[in-house]
C-alpha cells in the first residue's frame, strides 16, 4: 500500500476515511452545507452537522445519503469532493477505494466514482460493504468457509454470506439506526404526549436501550408537550424503549433468518461453528447479539470497533488490489481504469 492510498467508507450516517498506513484520518457525519447563492460548499462533516435544521433559506444543510441510497446525487458528489480534497492536501493523484451502501444503484455508484476522479484520484475502486466489513473484522475470506456478516448502519442493514472471496447470498433491509430513532420519537409521542427530537431519541438509544433484557434503567428526555405546547421533561425507561424498538428489531432478525434459509447447508454448518459477525454502529445496540443468537441458535458477536470496521477493511483491501486481482475484480463492482 502506498502512503497516498485513500480508503473511504461512505456511510449514510458517517463517512470514514483512511490514508495510507496512518489509519483513520476522518470520521465525521455524512452531512454537507451548501450555499445556493454562491453555489459552493460551505462546510462538510462535523461543522455541517451543527447547521442541520438551523440554516437560512439560501443555505442547505443535508444528509445526502438517506436510507442507504443517494437521495441527492449532486450533494453527495459535492460532499465527497470536499472531503477528498481535505485529505489529499498536497498528494498528487492518489488511488482511492470506495465503499458505498450496497443498495446504491449503478448510476449512483458511477456518480460517486466520477466525483472521486474529479477530486483528483488516479484510480478508483469500489468494494462491496460485506467484503470490506469482513476484511476489517480480520476474517480470512479467501478460504472456502462460510461466514455471515450483518452490518447495521444508519440507513440499512446488510446481510451477507461470504465464502471464497465472494458473496454467496445477501439481503438488504432499509431499516436500521435511523428507524430506531424515529420509532423512539413515535413511541414517546404516543405514550407520553411529548414530541422529542431525533438526536434526543438517538442519545436515549445509545445510553439505555436493551433489546434483550431491559433492567429498568431510566433516562430523562426533553421535548414539547403536544397539548400544552410547552417544553417538558419525562423519564423513560429501557422497558419503554424495548417496546418501541421490538418490531423493528424483530424484522431484522427475521431477515437474517431468511438469508439462513437460502444458504447452502454446508455453509450454514460453517456459520453455526464460526458465528454471525455484527458490524456498523447498530451492532452496539445492547442486547442485539444475544437476541440474534437466542432466536437463530447460532453464535453471534460484535466485531472490534464495529463503527470503524468497514473503513479498516477498505484500508486493508489495497493489499489485494494487485495480488488478488481475480478475487478483487469479483468483489469490486466497478473498476475504473
| Residues near ligand ADP, by CB under 6 A | 11-14, 153-155, 177-178, 202, 205-206, 280-282, 284-285, 307
Quick check: 140 and 114 in contact, CB under 8 A? no
Binding-site partner at residue 184 among Mg ion, ligand ADP, none, CB < 5 to 8 Å by type: none
Q: Which is nearer to Mg ion, 214 or 313 (CB)?
A: 313
Quick check: 48 and 42 in contact, CB under 8 A? yes
* Cα-only R_g, the chain: 21
Beta strands in the chain (DSSP E): 6-10, 14-19, 23-29, 32-35, 40-44, 59-62, 65-66, 69-70, 95-99, 123-127, 147-152, 157-163, 166-173, 194-195, 218-225, 231-237, 276-279, 300-302, 335-336
Residue 97 to residues 8, 124, 279, 312, 324, Cα–Cα distance (Å): 6, 6, 19, 11, 15
CA pair distance 180, 61, nearest whole angstrom: 22
Q: Least CB distance from residue 214 to ligand ADP, whole Å? A: 14
Q: Which is nearer to ligand ADP, 146 or 177 (CB)?
A: 177
Residue 305, C-alpha cell as written in the block: 470497533
Quick check: 224 and 194 in contact, CB under 8 A? yes
Which residue, among 312, 16, 134, has the nearest Cα to 8 in the 3D structure? 16
Binding-site partner at residue 282 among ligand ADP, Mg ion, none, CB < 5 to 8 Å by type: ligand ADP
Binding-site partner at residue 202 among Mg ion, ligand ADP, none, CB < 5 to 8 Å by type: ligand ADP
CA pair distance 71, 108, nearest whole angstrom: 9
Q: Tell me how far apart the 2 most distant CA atoms of the chain are, in Å.
A: 66
> What count of residues does the chain have?
337
| # of chain residues touching Mg ion (CB under 5 A) | 2
- Count the alpha carbons within 13 Å of 166 in the hemisphere toward its beta carbon: 8
Q: Which is nearer to ligand ADP, 33 or 201 (CB)?
A: 201
Binding-site partner at residue 136 among ligand ADP, Mg ion, none, CB < 5 to 8 Å by type: none
Q: Least CB distance from residue 118 to Mg ion, whole Å? A: 24
The DSSP secondary-structure symbol of 139 reads -
Q: Which is nearer to ligand ADP, 238 or 270 (CB)?
A: 238
Which residue, among 186, 185, 188, 159, has the nearest Cα to 172 in the 3D structure? 159
Q: Least CB distance from residue 179 to ligand ADP, whole Å? A: 9
CA pair distance 84, 98, nearest whole angstrom: 11
Q: Which is nearer to Mg ion, 68 or 287 (CB)?
A: 68
Q: Which is nearer to Mg ion, 94 or 154 (CB)?
A: 154
Dihedral angle at the C-alpha atoms of 306, 203, 182, 294, nearest 10 degrees? 50
Q: Least CB distance from residue 165 to ligand ADP, whole Å? A: 22
Binding-site partner at residue 200 among ligand ADP, Mg ion, none, CB < 5 to 8 Å by type: none
Q: Which is nearer to ligand ADP, 117 or 302 (CB)?
A: 302
* Chain position whose Cβ is nearest to ligand ADP: 177
Binding-site partner at residue 109 among ligand ADP, Mg ion, none, CB < 5 to 8 Å by type: none
Q: Which range binds Mg ion by CB under 5 A, 10-18, 43-51, 58-66, 159-167? A: 10-18
Q: Is residue 313 at the binding interface for Mg ion, with CB under 5 A as the rule?
A: no
Q: Is residue 45 at the binding interface for Mg ion, with CB under 5 A as the rule?
A: no
The mark string for 136-155 relative to Mg ion (x by CB under 5 A, - otherwise) is -----------------x--
Q: Is residue 11 at the binding interface for Mg ion, with CB under 5 A as the rule?
A: yes
Q: Which is nearer to ligand ADP, 161 or 311 (CB)?
A: 311
Query: Which residues are at the interface with Mg ion (CB under 5 A)?
Result: 11, 153
Amino acid at each position: 500500500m502506498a502512503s497516498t492510498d485513500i480508503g473511504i467508507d461512505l456511510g449514510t450516517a458517517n463517512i470514514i476515511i483512511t490514508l495510507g498506513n496512518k489509519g483513520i484520518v476522518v470520521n465525521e457525519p455524512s452531512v454537507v452545507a451548501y450555499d445556493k447563492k454562491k453555489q459552493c460548499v460551505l462546510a462538510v462533516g462535523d461543522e455541517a452537522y451543527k447547521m442541520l435544521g438551523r440554516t437560512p433559506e439560501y443555505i442547505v444543510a443535508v444528509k445526502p445519503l438517506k436510507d442507504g441510497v443517494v437521495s441527492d446525487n449532486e450533494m453527495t458528489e459535492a460532499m465527497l469532493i470536499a472531503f477528498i480534497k481535505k485529505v489529499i492536501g498536497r498528494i498528487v493523484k492518489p488511488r482511492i477505494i470506495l465503499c458505498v451502501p450496497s443498495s446504491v444503484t449503478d448510476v449512483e455508484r458511477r456518480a460517486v466514482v466520477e466525483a472521486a476522479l474529479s477530486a483528483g484520484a488516479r484510480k478508483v475502486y469500489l468494494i462491496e460493504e460485506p467484503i470490506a466489513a469482513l476484511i476489517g473484522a480480520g476474517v480470512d475470506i479467501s478460504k472456502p468457509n462460510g461466514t455471515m456478516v450483518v452490518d447495521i448502519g444508519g440507513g440499512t442493514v446488510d446481510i451477507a454470506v461470504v465464502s471464497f472471496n465472494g458473496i454467496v447470498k445477501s439481503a438488504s433491509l432499509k431499516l436500521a439506526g435511523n428507524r430506531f430513532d424515529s420509532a423512539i420519537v413515535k413511541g414517546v409521542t404516543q405514550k407520553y404526549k411529548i414530541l422529542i427530537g431525533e438526536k434526543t431519541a438517538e442519545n436515549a438509544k445509545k445510553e439505555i436501550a436493551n433489546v434483550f433484557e431491559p433492567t429498568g434503567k431510566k433516562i430523562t428526555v426533553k421535548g414539547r408537550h403536544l397539548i400544552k405546547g410547552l417544553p417538558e421533561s419525562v423519564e423513560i425507561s429501557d422497558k419503554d424503549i424495548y417496546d418501541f424498538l421490538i418490531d423493528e428489531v424483530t424484522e431484522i432478525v427475521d431477515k437474517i433468518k431468511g438469508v439462513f434459509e437460502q444458504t447452502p447447508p454446508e455453509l450454514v454448518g460453517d456459520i453455526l461453528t464460526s458465528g454471525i459477525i455484527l458490524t456498523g454502529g447498530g451492532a452496539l445496540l445492547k442486547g442485539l447479539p444475544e437476541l440474534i443468537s437466542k432466536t437463530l441458535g447460532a453464535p453471534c458477536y460484535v466485531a472490534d470497533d464495529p463503527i470503524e470496521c468497514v473503513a479498516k477493511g477498505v484500508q486493508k483491501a489495497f493489499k489485494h488490489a494487485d495480488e488478488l486481482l481475480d478475487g478483487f475484480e469479483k468483489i469490486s463492482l466497478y473498476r475504473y481504469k
